[in-house]
Amino acid sequence: MLLSDRVMQVRPSGVRKIFDLAQKVKNPINLSIGEPDFDIPDAIKEEGIKWIRNGFNKYTPSGGIQELREKVLVHLKKKGIICEDVIITAGVTGGLLLALMTTLNPGEEVVIPDPYFVLYEYQVIFLGGRPVFFDTYPDFTLKEEKLRAAITDKTKIILINSPNNPTGMVNSREELEMVARVAREKDLLVFSDDIYDRFIYDDITEQTYLGQLYDKTVTFGGFSKTWAMTGWRLGYVAGPSEIIQCMVTMQQYAFSSVTSFAQKAALTALDFDMDERISQYRKKRDLVYNGLKDKYNVVEPKGAFFIFPEVPGGSSMDFVEKALENNLFIIPGSVFSARDSHVRISFASSEENLVKGIEILRKLV
């Protein structure tokens, strides 16, 4: 056989069928995309262009340029996140792969709340680990008894994503303190994917991060969401020095280094105020939630830019196909979950598109 056992364990994403169907629809209303609908601010783009023109186009150190590592470390410590070192990575995707390569042995388990970002499952599988999911339905909150039931003597990592893709849920301080307490008791690593941390829509006295609560937390973040730098593929991982230094070694062999000019532009991004752009997403969240709540069983999203309503009929794939027939492109919840009962809708789109999408969704029930 020409293919590895590893690739044979990976089933094609259920979303592939939907994308194939969407290709046949002329100019659908696209509420599927998981990236901001605003562009990178001009000042950040110009900084990247400046460094390209200045000839900063060669390989960079495997851990990232030193000034960016230091600035991210300061940025995180100002939030109260416990971390000794930082590595710059090819997005959170690249960072998560390096972190798993560094910490996970074949046969060990990673505990993940369901629903979850689909990439988590397959990166664990790629490396010979076993993803173990625990249910958070119907309100998408973390319950201690379900978390504890998922933990075995083979568990190595608990992976939490808050704000969450696909649900938009933001875990409370009490939930995160519970995760930290259980991890400390069991002597587990915690991976905290904070990529949507700036997209929080309800007033809170002080934002809570897992990295504030537990010293064996590995914190993941990046520039794709807050500054819309998705195509520049730039992220970071922070945590215990022992882990980060080994990730730098792994990056030498996996990615070599990350994009040179993007790292220079990121220095500007960290000082660039995005509050005005992000505040517009609260209005979009309200528009979509208020437009659906009387027709669908739906939890109000507290962050990110997704809403995850339950669909009638019990089949998310059937519902998405029906939506496409009505010129609306959304993603089946079965891509993100063991359940086939919900759909993910992105409100990272124009208000005009959102209004049209809401109208179609209301007609479908």
pLDDT digits (tens, 9 = 90+) for 7-63: 887 776 666 667 777 777 788 899 998 899 999 999 999 999 999 999 999 999 999
Please write the tens of the pLDDT for every residue from 157-216. 999 999 999 999 999 999 999 999 999 999 999 999 999 999 999 876 679 999 999 999
Share of the chain above pLDDT 70, in %: 98
Please write the tens of the pLDDT for every residue from 95-104. 999 999 999 9
H or E element at residue 332? strand 331-332
Residues 6+ apart with CB under 8 A from 185: none
Report which of 171, 173, 178, 159 is spatially closest to residue 116, judged by C-alpha positions.
159
3, pLDDT greater than 80: yes
More confident of the two residues 332 and 5: 332
pLDDT bucket at 239, cuts 50 / 70 / 90:
very high
pLDDT bucket at 6, cuts 50 / 70 / 90:
confident
Residues 6+ apart with CB under 8 A from 164: 113, 115, 140, 170, 171, 196, 303, 304
332, pLDDT greater than 90: yes
Q: Which domain holds residue 158?
A: 43-269
Place of tokens 């023109």: 53
pLDDT of residue 15: 64
Average pLDDT of span 306-322: 93
pLDDT of residue 310: 97
Average pLDDT of span 213-222: 98
Residues 6+ apart with CB under 8 A from 42: none
d(CA 242, CA 303): 32
d(CA 100, CA 192): 13
Report which of 24, 25, 31 is spatially closest to residue 361, judged by C-alpha positions.
31
Residues 91 and 32 in one domain: no
Residues 6+ apart with CB under 8 A from 232: 40, 48, 223, 224, 259, 262, 265
In which region does residue 346 sit, left (phi positive, over 0), alpha (psi from -120 to 50) or beta (all else)?
beta
Please write the tens of the pLDDT for every residue from 64-96. 999 999 999 999 999 999 999 999 999 999 999
The amino acid at residue 309 is P
| Count of structural domains within the chain | 2
Residues 48 and 36 in one domain: no
Place of tokens 């993803």: 131
pLDDT of residue 205: 62
Residues 35 and 56 in one domain: no
d(CA 176, CA 146): 14
Final residue of a structural domain among 269, 293, 324: 269
The per-residue pLDDT of the chain, averaged, comes to: 95
Average pLDDT of span 97-126: 97
Final residue of a structural domain among 245, 269, 293: 269
Residues 158 and 291 in one domain: no
pLDDT of residue 136: 98
Residues 6+ apart with CB under 8 A from 60: 257, 258, 260, 263
Residues 30 and 172 in one domain: no
d(CA 147, CA 78): 30
Residues 256 and 327 in one domain: no
pLDDT of residue 12: 65
Residues 49 and 36 in one domain: no
pLDDT of residue 8: 82
How many Å separate Cα 81 from the centre of its chain?
18
Residues 131 and 217 in one domain: yes
Contact indicator for 340, 119 with CB cutoff of 8 Å: no
**CATH number of the structural domain spanning residue 321:** 3.90.1150.10
**CATH number of the structural domain spanning residue 56:** 3.40.640.10
339, pLDDT greater than 90: yes
Residues 191 and 305 in one domain: no
Final residue of a structural domain among 235, 252, 269: 269
Residue 69, both tokens: 């590592």
Strands 343-346 and 331-332: antiparallel
pLDDT of residue 322: 94
Residues 202 and 226 in one domain: yes
Residues 129 and 219 in one domain: yes
d(CA 354, CA 285): 10
Residues 120 and 203 in one domain: yes
Strands 130-135 and 155-161: unpaired
